[in-house]
Structure 1
Amino acid sequence: MAGRVEGKVALVTGAASGIGRACAERLAAEGAHVVLTDLSDGAGHEVAAGIASRGENASYLHQDVTDEAQWAEVIEAVRKAHGRLDILVNNAGIGLGGSVIEMSLSDFRRQMAVNVEGVFLGVKHALPLIRASGDGGSIINMSSVAGLKGAASLAGYCASKGAVRLFTKSVALECAAAQDKVRVNSVHPGIIETPIWDTIIGTGGPGANVAPQRAATLDAMAGAATPLGFKGDPSDIAEGVLWLASNESRYVTGAELVIDGGLSVR
């Protein structure tokens, strides 16, 4: 089935790499005009240009999701360029691992600012524009399996992703009560090969061999912890995001879409 989000306008944060990039590319391939945002401008422009080279619609904007003024600017830019917003994918996030007694307060706060405050600000500023169309829309907040269960040496990350999970459910109920036809759901990836793991598992040092080191480490982790026995790809998450963005999930709100190879049920 092609054109599953044809004519819709989507905003994807953290779209220069990893899951955000995969989501932006998949939504564009199904007919959406995708506005990508990130802090990595070079990579962000490159992803947007790659989408456009395939005859699909994409544009890029610089954004720090922890900056409320920038959220207002991004939403205003979307309004001026497209007149509407139908899909928000709050994907931008960071992962900081380490013992709770060794993590600095500044790192804990930085992780919460990006992973929780960034999602809050996205919903706060995007929801009025989504509502303005009168056609409803879909807000998709990227949580994690770490938002469903605890993990040693990931207390701060688990706290942030758990907050996203319940924030999502509360906003879903608020939108349902307002009868605005806006659905709000969270997505919970498991072991997916993305750069966020470099700061969690310590493969983010300098050198050209970072990606192979990450891949090997995640292969071992997934083989040991995941019932399906292998790690996921960002495209696996993008397919779920596309479904939540499309009208195929019109009766789904306040839900947790877990895409983890069975990790959370072991």
Structure 2
Amino acid sequence: MSTRKATLIAGIPAENRALFHRVRFEAGDPAAWIKFDLDGPSSTHFIVRDIEADRARQSVPVDSVASPPDYEPAGGLSGDRITATAQAVVECLRRQEVQHVTTDRTLPFVFAWHLQQAGIELQYCEELGVLERRTKSEQEIEWLAEAQRITEDAMAMTLELIANADANAAGQLLVAGDILTSERVREGIAAYLTSRGYTLPGGSIVATRPDSADCHARGSGALVVGEAVIVDI
């Protein structure tokens, strides 16, 4: 009998981009994507919190979707969501008599620990998912181009805001009579992108002296005349 194998990518899709790339499903709760390589053709499975399951069934490109209660082990599920998800993954694999699991660099240790406790062999694959994410489909290229265009629009808006600002006697920039600060400009950038359906998970940089000399400083305080302003979206 050949070894029954599976591939596992798990975590929180909203944070784990490798998992998100597999399922294209934005969720803030733990989830797991499993590919089974058993006796016949391979199949894919997605385990996600029960309140997300119906939504996942409509959009996630897998053969089946389930929730942790569907794979409750004999000892029950933990009240902790990520632990319960790890327990359910192990129970799912156990029912399929999986002996060997391959995973990527993003797997949370709680999943690895429960797999080890169940006696399932776990192998790390350095290249799992890397080439797939680096290679862009036509759809992904279109999405990137659109995102770049929206980002350029946000940059143009920001530069125009700063360039057209007035100044008070102290040299501080003013817009509508209020001091223009790094924080205020960043809020404007975030609001602009949100209004167009985009998020800004990494934030933005609007920095002037002394922060402008630090490439990753967010910037703070009033923008002033005669000083460079670094804007990074």
Class of the TM-score when normalised by the shorter of the 2 chains: 0.3 to 0.5
Which protein shows a greater Rg? 2
**What's the TM-score once normalised by structure 2's chain length?**
0.33
More helix by share: 1
More strand by share: 2
